[in-house]
């Protein structure tokens, strides 16, 4: 093939390619049904994926990926009792505060870094009720009354496991904080209360 023939063939291919593309959007007709989609599995996985949901089974049967009998969703809720990877289950029941006080030991040491992080968490989640100093004089106590003074003699006698248990399940008018704080965060707050606030 001569160079001239090659150039002519290339020009024809280029012209055919360009002419097949319609860049004038005013001339594109309105379609009542979607155009053909080639290789739809390149765009949508045939497997169920929680982040994608193709519901148009009529026009995209190959890409339809709604999980049947799951309320139109591909995201499955974990089986009850499922423990996420890396989590340590907490088996002491809500009413076993004495057991928590007697047996729970912090899995982390009260290092300077841990206590510093515990202070940040305490100020964010606890100080509005217990006050920054833990004396039960936070702004919420002005309205509700009866917030525990963490520096009282009774609470000074308990260990960090007791405080961890109360943060986890709540006690009296205090609601549980397990849904807001990871276990290690609860331990950091407990250690901050024991090692810093109660020693001031």
pLDDT tens digits along 33-64: 666 667 766 766 777 777 778 888 887 777 77
Of 5-19, 87-101, 177-191, give the lowest mean pLDDT range.
Answer: 5-19
Coil, helix or strand for 174?
strand
Q: Which two tokens stand for residue 68?
A: 């049947």
Distance of alpha carbon 64 from alpha carbon 15, whole angstroms: 36
**Residue 20: per-residue pLDDT:** 60
| Top-tier CATH class for 97-199 | mainly alpha
| Percentage of the residues of the chain whose pLDDT score is greater than 90 | 49
How big is the chain by its Cα radius of gyration, in Å? 32
54 and 77 Cβ atoms separated by less than 8 Å: no
**Residue 120: per-residue pLDDT:** 97
- When pLDDT is cut at 50, 70 and 90, the band that residue 4 belongs to is confident
- When pLDDT is cut at 50, 70 and 90, the band that residue 73 belongs to is confident
The DSSP bridge partners found for residue 171 are 174
Range(s) within the chain of domains with CATH label 1.10.760.10: 97-199
**Residue 119: per-residue pLDDT:** 97
* Continuous H helices in the chain: 3-20, 97-103, 112-125, 127-130, 139-144, 153-156, 160-169, 183-195
Nearest 10 degrees: Cα torsion 34, 40, 46, 52 = -60
103 and 112 Cβ atoms separated by less than 8 Å: no
Distinct helix (H) and strand (E) counts, the chain: 8, 0
pLDDT in tens, 103-134: 999 999 999 999 999 999 999 999 999 999 99
Q: Which two tokens stand for residue 170?
A: 């709540």
What predicted TM-score, i.e. pTM, was given to this entire model?
A: 0.61
Structure letter (DSSP) for residue 136? S
């Amino acid at each position: 093939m001569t160079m001239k023939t090659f150039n002519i063939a290339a020009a024809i291919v280029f012209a055919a390619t360009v002419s097949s593309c319609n860049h004038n959007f005013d001339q594109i007709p309105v379609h009542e049904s979607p155009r053909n989609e080639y290789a739809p599995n390149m765009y949508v996985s045939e497997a169920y994926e929680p982040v994608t949901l193709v519901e148009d089974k009529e026009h995209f049967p190959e890409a339809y990926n709604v999980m049947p009998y799951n309320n139109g969703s591909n995201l499955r809720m974990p089986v009850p009792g499922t423990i996420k990877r890396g989590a340590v289950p907490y088996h002491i029941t809500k009413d076993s505060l004495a057991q928590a006080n007697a047996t729970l030991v912090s899995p982390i040491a009260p290092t300077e870094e841990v206590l510093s992080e515990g202070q940040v968490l305490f100020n964010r989640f606890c100080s509005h009720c217990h006050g920054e100093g833990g004396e039960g004089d936070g702004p919420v106590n002005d309205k509700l009354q009866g917030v525990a003074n963490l520096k009282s003699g009774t609470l000074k006698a308990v260990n960090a496991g007791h405080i961890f248990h109360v943060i986890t399940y709540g006690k009296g008018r205090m609601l549980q904080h397990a849904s807001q704080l990871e276990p290690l965060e609860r331990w950091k707050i407990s250690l901050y209360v024991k090692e810093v606030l109660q020693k001031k």
